[in-house]
């Protein structure tokens, strides 16, 4: 009888959420030898798409009966929403670079990512979280200066990567769509709409560590479901309202 082959089981803390999947689970593959087999809980199409891009270095195992299982936690945080820098580079290289998904030309698209449908996602079942109030005004103003306005959940993982590779500018409320900054073009400028002093720093960390240009637009107020001003607690349910559209457009237009 031959020894069973090893398979690493990565604990699934939050891995049904876009950000945690790449940071906590996929980043952990860095710590395993190549090639390796691994298993973790999956439930979303983008996870299946990711698994295909990891081959042949890392192979996902569905059934564990014929393997020797080695249980592992995901990547350990070194601070609030932060892990060691090499994990960020590993995720980008393993998905983007190894699969030759980098766009070779000059990035040209101008994209606004709407969060207006994210409350329909399973992990947002309690209601709207960081939506843009009066978003129709934002969309009208941005489309007038050449922006495409999209819902990122309409796209496959490969299509999302292509968007972030081809975009010269991406404007987005603070939210999970910005996980795709892992795979942004190094010439893409991210304009992240967020409250001042927010604890939502995970997307800023991706950009800073991977040298993706990022601007924080903070001239906003946070509002509750009744349109009243509220505080921007971490992961709380509130909308964001731009207080000066001309100022907002000036910042957007400053990015060439």
- Dist. CA 245–CA 230, nearest whole Å: 20
pLDDT digit string, tens, across residues 22-75: 999 999 999 999 999 999 999 999 999 999 999 999 999 999 999 999 999 999
Cis geometry, peptide bond prior to residue 35 (ω within 30 degrees of 0): yes
Mean local confidence (pLDDT), 222-226: 83
**Strands of the chain, DSSP E:** 5-10, 36-39, 58-60, 67-72, 109-113, 131-132, 148-150, 167-173, 189-193, 214-217, 220-223, 239-242
Structure tokens at 231: 């505080």
- Dist. CA 114–CA 155, nearest whole Å: 13
pLDDT digit string, tens, across residues 123-175: 555 556 678 989 999 999 999 999 999 999 999 999 999 999 999 999 999 98
- Name the DSSP letter for residue 229: B
User: Confidence band (pLDDT; 50, 70, 90) for 235?
Assistant: low
Domain ranges of the chain: 5-97, 109-253
Confidence at residue 237, expressed as pLDDT on a 0 to 100 scale: 75
């Amino acid at each position: 009888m031959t020894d069973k082959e090893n398979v690493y089981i990565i604990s699934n803390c939050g891995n049904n959420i876009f950000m945690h999947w790449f940071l906590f689970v996929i980043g952990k593959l860095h710590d395993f030898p190549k090639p390796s087999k691994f298993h973790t809980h999956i439930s979303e199409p983008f996870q299946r798409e990711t698994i295909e891009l990891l081959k042949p270095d890392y192979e996902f195992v569905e059934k564990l009966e014929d393997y020797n299982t080695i249980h592992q936690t995901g990547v350990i945080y070194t601070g609030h929403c932060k892990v060691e820098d090499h994990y960020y580079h590993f995720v980008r290289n393993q998905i983007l670079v190894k699969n030759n998904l980098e766009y070779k030309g000059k990035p040209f698209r101008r994209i606004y990512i709407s969060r207006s449908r994210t409350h329909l996602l399973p992990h947002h079942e309690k209601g709207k979280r960081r939506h843009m109030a009066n978003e129709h005004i934002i969309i009208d103003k941005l489309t007038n200066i050449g922006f495409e306005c999209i819902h990122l959940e309409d796209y496959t993982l490969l299509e999302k990567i292509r968007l972030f590779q081809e975009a010269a500018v991406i404007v987005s409320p603070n939210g999970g769509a910005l996980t795709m900054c892992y795979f942004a073009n190094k010439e893409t400028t991210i304009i992240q709409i967020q409250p001042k002093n927010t604890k939502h720093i995970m997307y800023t960390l991706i950009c800073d560590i991977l040298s993706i240009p990022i601007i924080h637009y903070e001239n906003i107020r946070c509002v509750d479901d009744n349109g009243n001003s509220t505080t921007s607690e971490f992961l709380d349910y509130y909308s964001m309202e731009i207080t000066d559209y001309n100022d907002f457009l000036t910042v957007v237009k400053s990015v060439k």
